[in-house]
Amino acid sequence: MRSSAPRRSLVLAADDPAGLARFYGALLETAPQAGFSASHWRLPWPGEGLLEIYAPSRSRPRPRGEGRLGLCLSRSAGGFPPLEVLNAWLDGVLALGATAVEPPRQESFGAESWLADPEGNRLLLLVSAG
């Protein structure tokens, strides 16, 4: 019997899985895919794997809470000033429904900004200088 490597996924619990799937679909520029039920959605994650968004079972609720884990999306500045690229990207993500947690800042490696997605999950936008 052959075993296969496990599939890699990131999982987010959501009060409104379809709404959060639309947010990440727009952000990742991909169409959300129906999952195992009406309250489960999947999106291809850049590179490899899936972002899985679901509504927790009422019999096993998943409470909200701020942890130390966050999603990170990054892009290269492509020769432009990283903070300018970040601010333009940030405007679009905020228009999709994210909330700024910290103002954008220039760092030695580029520019970054911490946000909360529409469900309050931590999201880091990172623009590398290279």
Quote the pLDDT of residue 64.
Answer: 66
Class of domain 9-54: alpha beta
Q: What amino acid occupies position 66?
A: E
Q: What amino acid occupies position 81?
A: P
Average of per-residue pLDDT values in the chain: 89
Residues 28-64: tens digit of each pLDDT: 999 999 999 989 999 998 888 899 998 877 766 556 6
Residues 61-110: tens digit of each pLDDT: 556 666 667 899 999 999 999 999 999 999 999 999 999 999 999 999 99
Q: What's 119's DSSP letter?
A: T
pTM of the model: 0.83
Class of domain 71-128: alpha beta
With the C-alpha atoms ordered 17, 19, 23, 29, is the resulting torsion angle positive or negative?
A: positive
Asked whether the predicted pLDDT for residue 10 surpasses 70, the reply is: yes
Query: Among residues of the chain, what percentage have pLDDT more than 70?
Result: 89
Instruction: Write down the domain spans for the chain.
Output: 9-54, 71-128
Give the residue among 66, 71, 34, 70 at the shortest CA–CA distance from 53. 34
